[in-house]
Structure 1
Amino acid sequence: MAASTSADMNDLRFHEMGLDDRILKAIAKLGWSKPTLIQERAIPLALEGKDLLARARTGSGKTAAYAIPLVQRILSSKQTAREQAVRAVVMVPSRELCSQAYKNILELTSCCSREVKCADVSVQVDLAAQRPLLMEKPDIIVGTPSRLLAHLQAQNLTLVDSLEVLVIDEADLIFSFGYEADLKALLPFLPKIYQAFLMSATLSDEVVALKKLVLHNPITLKLEESQLPDMDQLTQYHVKCGEEDKFLLLYTLLKLRLVRGKTIIFVNDIDKSYRLKLFLEQFSIPGCVLNSELPVNSRCHIVEQFNTGLYDIIVASDESSLGTGKQGGKRKKSKSKKGKSREYGVSRGIDFQNVANIINFDFPPTIKSYIHRVGRTARGDTKGTALSLVNDTETEILEDIEKYLVKEDGTSLIRPYQFKMVEIEGFRYRCKDAMRAVTRVAIREARVKEIKHEIFQSKTLKTYFDDNPRDIQLLRHDKVLHPAKVHSDLRNVPEYLVPKTLKASTSGASFKGPTTRKRKHRGPRESRFAKKKRRNAADPLKSFKFKKS
């Protein structure tokens, strides 16, 4: 069937879609006043039983666009069904995204949780451990293609007689994450007739190939909307500076609180993420690292704690973008992925909530990567800012992106950030001191220490903290690594170094003027005998005296 984007639907509300009251109640609890464009177009077509191939930008509400009709169909089927069965499967390319989709479905079924059961089988435990869960035949199963295939081959799960709906979310990542063979092997386990949804941020060649494998005469929704939020919601800047100036500028922005709120700092490789974390630690700026080497439980937990506001800064390595595209006129080859998760892709899909700022410390090598990174902020009705730090080797790709992201009058959406580097020259020596302490050895030690620590937390403490949520503060991911020598005098900013033009906008920053040390008053030196007597008096075993009656 032909593509359709301009259906005659104007401001269609949730209560006008014929949804079950329990779903409407859950939507109201989530605070959704009206559907997004993808939801407005996709939900009515899905309720009619159509197969859908939907393309919409990151943060547009694609998960709810398939989850709402999915839950509605299951509630309708249960009115006539005689027995419990697995009626829907949601395939997602990574365990982080599985966890996210599972939580979203639980939120939408919060008012009908007795009728609609959902299970996430993506957790890497023994297949036999999940067999009892699957024997209960949950209505919806969420998992990666490889995990679902493993359960089907182990006969823990059968779909051929019961499956009604198949959803593939983030469809453009399925093949790139290495699931092509798994998906093709999984298809014979499915019935011949079922409703299918493919949800994607792009309509790549991989999605077209997937469409031929899974969909039957689908409707394609290619929404005519910008790939990024409007200018009044998302402000984009760039600063052209040297590599050393990037560290100086980032330190100034964070320490003087010129950048406030939740912030994701993107770099292009894992070593750089630890270098940046150790650099910020020199100035007592806390933050956590997110990369492909960390255990998946830790990665999910980092995102969860960030979303709940436990910490405000994540240094995220987006090494998945290095395999393609130009950077400084040369193609950058992807490094060995030994020890890294093939499912990792932090700039895509993961639902970071209420992100105020995106800082591209390393400029992304492709237009696609830039859009996905910047799409982490200004989601829903919130506003956001994206700042890119660009050195001489990155100007070529910046110019390409500036030509691609333009206003109606032809000018670029990415504006120069008017910042006078001369005014912060006084901070340069402090940054150089901090950078000298962050050596290659310190980075390597930090990397090993972090991985060991996260593996221990991931395996040993996961069950404990599930049972004891009040102790969650102990399981923080922004703890200081400190393999580098820390200069305590860098913690505070001397007031005389702050430029006059910035003092008005730096309220709340930690400044410290010159002070004179006062010698603590000490009394007369205590003798060794007096010390021993005082210690014995404090010891109940040594001070105990037996009194005769």
Structure 2
Amino acid sequence: MTFASLGLIDSLLRTLGELGYASPTPVQAQAIPAVLEGRDLMAAAQTGTGKTAGFALPLLQRLVMEGTQVAPNSVRALVLVPTRELADQVHESFKAYAGALPVRTLVAYGGVSINPQMMRMRKGVDLIVATPGRLLDLHRQNAVRFNQLQVLVLDEADRMLDLGFSRELDQIFAVLPKQRQTLLFSATFSEPIRAMAAKMLRDPLSIEVAPRNTAAKTVRQSIVTVDKKRKTELFLHLLKQRQWGQVLVFAKTRRGVDELAVALEKRGVPVDSIHGDKPQPARMRALDRFKAGEVQVLVATDVAARGLDIDDLPLVVNLDLPIVAEDYVHRIGRTGRAGASGEALSLVCADEAPLLAAIETLTRQTLARSEEPGFVAEHRVPMTNAKGELVKKPKKPKKPKVHAAVVKEDVRFRKP
């Protein structure tokens, strides 16, 4: 199958050729024709399989072919994403695919001044890639109107709910035209997302190119059990012992990120970090340094689990397991992309046994576990069964009670 057979116009085909895109991925092969036909769509695919092109290419074609003149402060297509990093990544993809097409685009998110974004909206744009909070800010200031909106794309909608954007999404949906095309793309779909889709989408086409909530088969997954207080020490040991190259490390809290970064700096390891307390320019600078190879270790909270598009990343380490099991899939999806091989290693303590069980239940596999000499956990991590459930230790059988009457009788008849 070729991109031409999917009905894409020549200008997009030339751009795809220049970008080195030879043939469509499974999700692209199914999604592109459906989007061109105007169908509502709910598509689930593993991260790194080309979801963005699956909606960006047909969306660009529709914007160009319909050629509607956009009014001031108006927008024709809206792509909602959960994080600033993902917003930048998706917007860059749109710009790359658009090439020389006459399409005006804007990326809008918080953490930076709103004024340039408002200035860009004055003449109207064909497409906005935005986070929910900043989009509402623009709407409240009358900088963006939705009367011309034709298409809404929700990218990683499950993550938006995980981050607490449910109220913001409801507010956005309330001001959008009822007659529109709605597309949901994600690597995972939680039950709340499916319930939301049932209300928002009209006779949607459902696409699942991989088993639900699974990680790419190209990622080798395992865990090392360790006591909680020794996690940082174990990571530093493994970094040196196994001679790791570039590593993306996920920690649960901002404090955990900073503590590991400081420990690495003290040992002369080139390191940078990303978390919610850092301003957006600093976060983007850290990512750019990591991509350029200037940084060996990038430590991040789940703010970076989606939206980090890094070529040939060999290893992801979970210093802490995520609270939400679906985030595990997105974290390790930063490696093993586009068919490349990768490794995902998690450092797991006893307190995280329920989180491990939830991850193994979600991904339908039991992760290979090991112990590192010198770091054997004092507090053992409970085993899990084939279903990812915690295995409780069998209770020791109670010793039969010996009644006093029997003892006396034995004594009475004992030979002298």
Give unpaired runs (5+ residues) of structure 1. Answer: 1-11, 319-344, 423-549
CA deviation string 1:174-202 (max 9, x = no partner) = 33333333333333543332211112233
3-state DSSP of counterpart to 2:162: coil
Q: What number of residue pairs does the alignment pair up?
A: 373
State which of 243, 265, 284 in structure 2 corresponds to 1:258: 243
**1:57 matched to 2:64:** no
**1:270 matched to 2:254:** yes
State which of 213, 225, 230 in structure 2 corresponds to 1:240: 225
3-state DSSP of counterpart to 1:288: strand
| TM-score normalised by length of structure 1 | 0.62
**1:141 matched to 2:128:** yes
3-state DSSP of counterpart to 1:158: coil
CA deviation string 1:504-547 (max 9, x = no partner) = xxxxxxxxxxxxxxxxxxxxxxxxxxxxxxxxxxxxxxxxxxxx
Aligned residue number for residue 370 of structure 1: 328
| Counterpart contact for 1:25–1:111, Cα < 8 Å | no
In 2, the alpha carbon distance for the partners of 1:401 and 1:181 equals 27
**Identical-pair percentage:** 31
3-state DSSP of counterpart to 1:174: helix
Change (3 A) 1:248 1:204: closer
In 2, the alpha carbon distance for the partners of 1:21 and 1:44 equals 15
Change (3 A) 1:101 1:278: same
Change (3 A) 1:132 1:406: closer
Give the drift of 1:140.
0.9
Aligned residue number for residue 264 of structure 2: 280
CA deviation string 1:262-308 (max 9, x = no partner) = 21122222222222222222321121122221112322332233223
Change (3 A) 1:200 1:83: closer
State which of 300, 303, 316 in structure 1 corresponds to 2:287: 303
Give the drift of 1:52.
0.7
State which of 287, 301, 306 in structure 2 corresponds to 1:317: 301
Deviates more, 1:13-22 or 1:189-198: 189-198
Determine which structure has the larger strand proportion and give its number.
2
3-state DSSP of counterpart to 1:254: helix
In 2, the alpha carbon distance for the partners of 1:109 and 1:301 equals 25
| TM-score normalised by length of structure 2 | 0.80
| Counterpart contact for 1:235–1:386, Cα < 8 Å | yes
In 1, the alpha carbon distance for the partners of 2:112 and 2:345 equals 40
> What code does the residue aligned with 1:392 have?
A
Give the drift of 1:127.
4.8
1:392-411 to structure 2, matched below 5 A, reads 392-395=350-353, 397-398=355-356, 401-402=359-360, 405=363
1:54-453 to structure 2, matched below 5 A, reads 54-78=43-67, 81=68, 86-112=75-101, 115-124=102-111, 127-160=114-147, 162-225=148-211, 227-230=214-217, 233-243=218-228, 245-256=230-241, 258-260=243-245, 262-318=246-302, 345-395=303-353, 397-398=355-356, 401-402=359-360, 405=363, 412=366, 414-417=367-370, 420-421=373-374
| Counterpart contact for 1:59–1:380, Cα < 8 Å | yes
Deviates more, 1:138-147 or 1:180-189: 180-189
Give unpaired runs (5+ residues) of structure 2. Answer: 376-416
In 2, the alpha carbon distance for the partners of 1:279 and 1:23 equals 48
Change (3 A) 1:36 1:255: same
Give the drift of 1:417.
4.6
Give the drift of 1:242.
3.2
3-state DSSP of counterpart to 2:137: helix
CA deviation string 1:214-242 (max 9, x = no partner) = 32222222334361111xx2112222233
| Counterpart contact for 1:152–1:189, Cα < 8 Å | no
**1:40 matched to 2:29:** yes
Kindly report the root-mean-square deviation, in angstroms, between the aligned alpha carbons of the 2 structures.
Answer: 2.8
Structure with max Cα Rg: 1
Give the drift of 1:403.
6.0
